[in-house]
Amino acid sequence: MIIEKVVPGGIADQLGVEPGDRLKMICNEHVRDILDYKFLTCAEDISVLLKKGSGEEWLLDIEKDYEEDLGICFKQEGLGRIKRCQNSCIFCFLAQMPKGMRKTLYFKDDDYRLSFLHGNFITLTNLSKRDLERIVKLRLTPLYISVHTTNAALRNKMLNNPRSGKIMEQLGFLAQGGIMMQTQAVVCPGINDGPELQKTIRDLYSLWPAVNSLAVVPVGLTRYREGLFPLQEFNRERARDVLALVEESQRWCLKQGGYPFVFAGDEFYLAAEHEFPGALRYGGFPQTENGVGLARLFLDEWAKTSRKLPEELPVPVRATIVTGAAGQKLLIPVIDRLNRVKRLIVNLRVIENRFFGGKVTVAGLLTPDDVYSILKDTELGDVVIIPSLMLKKDESVFLDGSRVGDLAGKLKANVAVADGPRGIVEAIFSDKTSMPLRRT
């Protein structure tokens, strides 16, 4: 592992370690990646073998606090070669991606290290026994695992990989090793729903609490499916069938162990025109990153935020709020309440996803071109508010690689990014009004 940076004043810096040096071994064990490094340096006395840029090898004996870091950083996050996905899933969203997006979106990773570090879902199909043993040894918990079905033959078919049928054996090994797992099933109508989904729920629950939760999410279909496996979307009736099964299973799980365990994605409730469950039915919200429970969190946050709205603004303000078709139901009552504030006018613009196709309704898959095509040449007011879901996490980058400033320039408008109801209200009030929320 090549050292990219040495923290000034840290242990490594004091010992003469420099950028470009290669870390070879710690305590006589080879260091393959950042996970080995973290695991092996958790000790008070360690030996470190380095190869200097000159070719000279140094052996350093170090005394330190148990969890004290050496103060070195590695290239490429210290992971080296990332494990690629070896499946060809019949529902793969990346196979439905057009050209012109961020380059990183086309890389199909299936790496247990990224699952541990970043919450990426993995299938376990490319793992050897040694990999599984390493996960247990290094205590890489929790992991996020795409199961889809526990029927071995069906999983082989859905993933197009003959190695995928051992999923329950693999999950059982990890469970016995003390690894917590959050799982998901991407459900395709007529394939892994109905009795197959019920079997999957019961099988996975047999490993609870190690398998901590199961998210049931609908297959996503774009308009770029020519030559791909024929799949159907969820209509209202099919979505209601899935919800009925999930709710029945939740009641069973609650009776068994006092925890709901299985959760339906928000899109199912929208497709079924069904009310969202209360917060208690989400069991602590273990899978919000998977679109499970975000709507309930939004509604509950809005209930608190709306009570703090002022009766009137000191100056007139006009705002435009952007959302996808799926977010319309949540935002209509928000817009109605905001427009009851005197001197405030808020317009909701529902953006059709022309890039991926009308079947894709979530705001997180809107592109700036989708937004621009609807908002261009219209009166946008003082601020255009877009959801943070449209952007790469912790960055202001859209799916196509452009930035918020680029969209603002094209629209010739002030564009603000909002994360939830409070973010919407703060973007509206901003510096123009200097109006804080009321205390309640």
- CA 403/CA 417 separation, integer angstroms: 11
Asked whether 367 and 406 are in contact (CB, 8 A), the reply is no
Note whether residue 438 is domain-resident: no
- pTM of the shown model: 0.90
Among 292, 326, 351, which residue terminates a domain?
Answer: 292
Region of residue 420 (left: phi > 0; alpha: psi -120 to 50; beta: else): left
pLDDT of amino acid 99: 81
Asked if 386 and 416 sit in the same domain, the reply is yes
Q: Please write the tens of the pLDDT for every residue from 407-421.
A: 999 999 999 999 999
Any residues with CB less than 8 A from the CB of 236 and at least 6 apart, and which?
271, 272, 273
Does pLDDT of 440 surpass 50?
no
Asked whether 127 and 148 are in contact (CB, 8 A), the reply is no
Query: With bands split at pLDDT 50, 70 and 90, how would you rate the model's confidence at 97?
Result: confident
- Over residues 1-22, the mean pLDDT reads 93
pLDDT of amino acid 35: 93
Asked if 282 and 304 sit in the same domain, the reply is no
- Over residues 12-38, the mean pLDDT reads 93
Query: With bands split at pLDDT 50, 70 and 90, how would you rate the model's confidence at 13?
Result: very high
* Strand, coil or helix: 407: helix
Q: Which residue has the tokens 């290290």?
A: 113
Asked if 67 and 99 sit in the same domain, the reply is no
| Four-point Cα dihedral 18, 21, 25, 30, nearest 10 | 140
Between 299 and 434, name the one with better pLDDT: 299
Asked if 70 and 52 sit in the same domain, the reply is yes
Asked if 358 and 241 sit in the same domain, the reply is no
* Strand, coil or helix: 60: strand
Note whether residue 332 is domain-resident: yes
- CA 4/CA 17 separation, integer angstroms: 11
CATH code for position 405: 3.40.50
Among 270, 292, 314, which residue terminates a domain?
Answer: 292
Query: With bands split at pLDDT 50, 70 and 90, how would you rate the model's confidence at 434?
Result: very low
- Over residues 336-356, the mean pLDDT reads 95
Q: Please write the tens of the pLDDT for every residue from 176-194.
A: 999 999 999 999 999 999 9
Does pLDDT of 432 surpass 60?
no
Does pLDDT of 370 surpass 60?
yes
Asked if 275 and 346 sit in the same domain, the reply is no
Among 266, 292, 318, which residue terminates a domain?
Answer: 292
Any residues with CB less than 8 A from the CB of 283 and at least 6 apart, and which?
213, 259, 260, 261, 263
Query: With bands split at pLDDT 50, 70 and 90, how would you rate the model's confidence at 9?
Result: very high
Q: Please write the tens of the pLDDT for every residue from 214-266.
A: 999 999 999 998 889 999 999 999 999 999 999 999 999 999 999 999 999 99
Q: Please write the tens of the pLDDT for every residue from 113-164.
A: 999 999 999 999 999 999 999 999 999 999 999 999 999 999 999 999 999 9
pLDDT of amino acid 438: 54
Q: Which residue has the tokens 């029945």?
A: 248
CATH code for position 206: 3.80.30.10
Does pLDDT of 436 surpass 70?
no
Asked if 187 and 317 sit in the same domain, the reply is no
Give percent of the chain above pLDDT 90: 85
Note whether residue 439 is domain-resident: no
Asked if 118 and 265 sit in the same domain, the reply is yes
Longest Cα–Cα distance of the chain, Å, equals 74
Does pLDDT of 431 surpass 70?
no
- How far is the first Cα of the chain from the last one, in angstroms, to the nearest whole number? 55
CATH code for position 70: 2.30.42.10
- Over residues 345-365, the mean pLDDT reads 92
pLDDT of amino acid 430: 76
pLDDT of amino acid 248: 98
- Over residues 165-177, the mean pLDDT reads 98
Note whether residue 86 is domain-resident: no
Helices (H), 180-327: 194-205, 236-257, 266-272, 294-306
Any residues with CB less than 8 A from the CB of 95 and at least 6 apart, and which?
88, 89, 228
Note whether residue 440 is domain-resident: no
Note whether residue 370 is domain-resident: yes
Asked if 73 and 112 sit in the same domain, the reply is no
Note whether residue 33 is domain-resident: yes
* Strand, coil or helix: 375: helix
The closest alpha carbon to 147, from 166, 132, 130, belongs to: 166
- Residue-number span of the structural domain to which 29 is assigned: 3-78
Between 32 and 265, name the one with better pLDDT: 265
pLDDT of amino acid 122: 98
Asked if 151 and 279 sit in the same domain, the reply is yes
Q: Please write the tens of the pLDDT for every residue from 384-407.
A: 999 999 998 877 899 988 999 999
Asked if 304 and 378 sit in the same domain, the reply is yes
Task: Please state, rounded to an integer, the average pLDDT across all residues of the chain.
Answer: 93
Asked whether 212 and 182 are in contact (CB, 8 A), the reply is yes
Asked if 147 and 58 sit in the same domain, the reply is no
Count the domains in the chain: 3
Note whether residue 216 is domain-resident: yes
